[in-house]
Structure formats: C-alpha cells, structure tokens
Amino acid sequence: MAQVTNTFETFGARGIREELSNTIHNTDPEETPFMSLAGRKSIDSVTPEWQIDSYRAIDLNNNQPEGNEYNFDSRAATSRVKNFAQISYIPFIISGTLDEIKKAGRASEVAYQAVKAGVELRRDMEAILLSNQASNAGTAGGATNRRLGGLRAWIASNDALSGAGGPSSGGYNTGTGVVDAATNGTQRAFDKAILDTVVLNTYNNGGNVGKSTLICSPYVKQIFSQIMDDTNVAAPRVMFDKNKNTIMASAEAYKSDFGTFMAVPNRQMAIAGATVARNAFLVDPEMVEVGMFRDIRIEKVAKTGDAEKRVLLAEYTLIVKNEKAHGCAADLYGLTASS
C-alpha cells in the first residue's frame, strides 16, 4: 500500500534518541593453548641457563674376556643451553576527558583498555613462543633487542621437513650460544605419513608421546580429523544418539603405536599468519616452560599532561628442557589448501 500523503516519518524528524547497547561485543579469540599447556616458571635473570645430557651410543661389541684389564672410557660432560628473555609491551594513552565522560559499555576507558591490552599481549606472546624466531642476546644502547628463541627454532631432532626448497633444522648452536632459526622448505599438505614420522622420531629420541599434545592451526586440525579416512586407519566405533543423525567429521585424539595424544587447535597460530601456522608441534608439557622474569603487569607511567598513560608489559622466555622431547611437522599448508 502507498504511504498517506504528508505523513511525518523518522527520516525527517529531529530529537530521536540514539540506542546504543551497553555491552561491547568482541569475538576475537583470547585463549592461548600453548602457554596454558606449558605453564610458567619464575626466572631470576634475563638469560636463564639449564643443562641437558644424553647417553653414549649403544656398543654392540661390548663383550669382554675373563680377567680383563680395564680400559677406562672418557665421559662426556653435560651441555649448557640458554635462552634470552625478551620484553613485549602494549602502551596506550587516554585523555582525561575520555576517561571521565559517561560511556556505553564501560565506566573507565583506562580500565577497559588495560584489560583489552592484556589479552592482546598474551596473544602476541603465544605466537612469539611458537615462532621460528632465532634468539638474540641484544646489544648495548638498544641497537638490537634481546629476543627469545621460539619453539620452532629450538626443535632440530624431531622436525619432519618437506624435503623440497632447501629446508634445514635450526636448534641450539653450542658455538654461538644462540638458537638458530630453521630454514623453511616448500609447503606441503599435512597427512598421516608426516605425523607418523614426527611421532616415530620423537619416540626414538626418548620423547614421551603418550603425555604429549599436538598443537596446530585450525586448518591443520581439520586435516588431522581427515586422517581417519586413511585406508590404514580403523573405522571409528562410537554410539550416537539413536534419535539423531550425526555426521562423524572430527577426531580429537590419535592412538599411535607409542601412546595416545590429543590434538588441540590454536587460533592464535592462524591469526599470526602463515609463518607460524605452517608448523604443527608435538609438545610434552613436562619438558617445556614459559620463564617469567617480569610477569604481565600494568605500569602507570608518569603523568605529563591531561592524559593517563599505561603500559602492559612482560619480560619472558621459552625454556625447552630438552628439544628431543618434542616434535614438529614443518612446512605445512597451515591456513588453506595452498597457503
């Protein structure tokens, strides 16, 4: 029907009150699975060190005659490794007027932004800890900053590389005392063969596969669930509600020959981009920690003007007790089937 002539409507009216919800909606993911899995440890310096050791090779010719005169072997010393604590922060400044004015969804802008910055800082830390970042001792005068060696850079013994594009392992460099970044290879699709290689190598090097967790990007987690379609995988036998038709399209655990482990998607890996999402990690939580020199805190900066200054700050590092305890499926398509 047509509108009655000269009807006064909202399009021409003045004085209509705005309606603004008193709730602020944010769907960006906040969880940090790796930091939650690893746990935290207080450290007392910005360069924590620890020792690792290994057994000598098995001697298949270890048979001796009666009355043998002993020849004493030399014994290898333990190895000292280290990582550097880096500083990450998120600063913000709020005008005095904005903090005082009546707002929808929050009373104090400073308090609201402090909580938001805290989440943002944890997301940064999560991605950095999992990254292929090489460690750096830093230099005086701020020419270079201290940087921690990320998990991808640490893992050298049990990383399944693509074999194309010149990939190579990183790992702790005993000569320089830093963690070298790995060299990326050509990306490829994640599959059961890659996962089994990581599992086998980790087990052979003493890793506890049954206590580990596979941490990967959401896309790789979807591909993980498709492994159950492999011809060498037993069909799942699960009773569903008989009154509901259910499509079985998810798998949360992998029962390998050496133990069962869970697969956990990490949305921060995808948000960080392809450089982080291209690697999936088999992590033993008992063999890794986040070292906190200064735990996440809010610093109130000296007031200079009609504004409130705050800085969310943390000084932290990654403690990989022994990199042989962990595995990495490297050079994967981590975001899509081609990226």
159 vs 81, 145, 154, 181, CA distance in Å?
A: 19, 28, 10, 13
What is the structure's pLDDT at 25?
58
Instruction: Decide if pLDDT at 171 tops 70.
Output: yes
Residue 327, strand partner residues: 282
**C-beta neighbour count of 289 within 10 angstroms:** 20
Burial-class residue 42 by CB neighbours within 10 Å (0-12, 13-18, 19+).
exposed
pLDDT at 236 (0 to 100): 62
Q: What DSSP element (H or E) covers 125?
A: helix 109-130
Output phi, psi for 287, to 5 deg: -120, 20
The pLDDT of 314-318, averaged and rounded, is 97
Confidence of residue 117 (pLDDT cuts 50, 70, 90): very high
**Residue pair 319/52 in contact by the 8 Å Cβ criterion:** no
Q: What is the pLDDT of residue 282?
A: 98
Q: pLDDT tens for residues 255-298? A: 999 999 999 999 999 999 999 999 999 999 999 999 999 999 99
pLDDT (mean) for 166-186: 96
* Separation of alpha carbons 284 and 12, rounded Å: 66
Of 275, 283, 254, 253, nearest in space to 330 by CA: 275
What SS3 class is residue 222?
A: helix
Average pLDDT over residues 159-186: 95
Stretch 51-56: mean pLDDT: 92
Closest of 228, 224, 223 to residue 238, by C-alpha: 228
* Averaged pLDDT score across all residues of the chain: 90
Where residue 28 falls among pLDDT bands split at 50, 70, 90?
Answer: low
Using an 8 Å Cβ cutoff, are 90 and 311 in contact?
yes
Residue 103: the pLDDT is: 78
Q: Is the pLDDT reported for residue 24 higher than 60? A: no
For the chain, where are the E strands, in sequence order?
A: 40-42, 49-52, 79-82, 86-95, 159-160, 171-173, 178-180, 213-216, 253-256, 259-265, 280-283, 288-300, 307-320, 327-329
The residues spanned by each domain of the chain are 40-46+80-236+247-329
Q: How far apart are CA 186 and CA 165, in angstroms?
A: 5
Nearest to 271 by CA among 122, 98, 52: 122
| 178-180/171-173 β-pairing | antiparallel
Render pLDDT for 192-251 as a digit per residue (tens, 0 to 9): 999 999 999 999 999 999 999 999 999 999 999 998 777 677 666 565 666 677 777 788
Residue 264 has a CB neighbour count (10 Å cut-off) of 18
Q: At a CB cut-off of 8 Å and minimum separation 6, what does 48 contact?
A: 82, 83, 85, 291, 317, 319
Would the pTM count as exceeding 0.95?
Answer: no
Q: What percent of the chain has pLDDT over 70?
A: 90
Q: Which residue has the higher pLDDT, 308 or 15?
A: 308
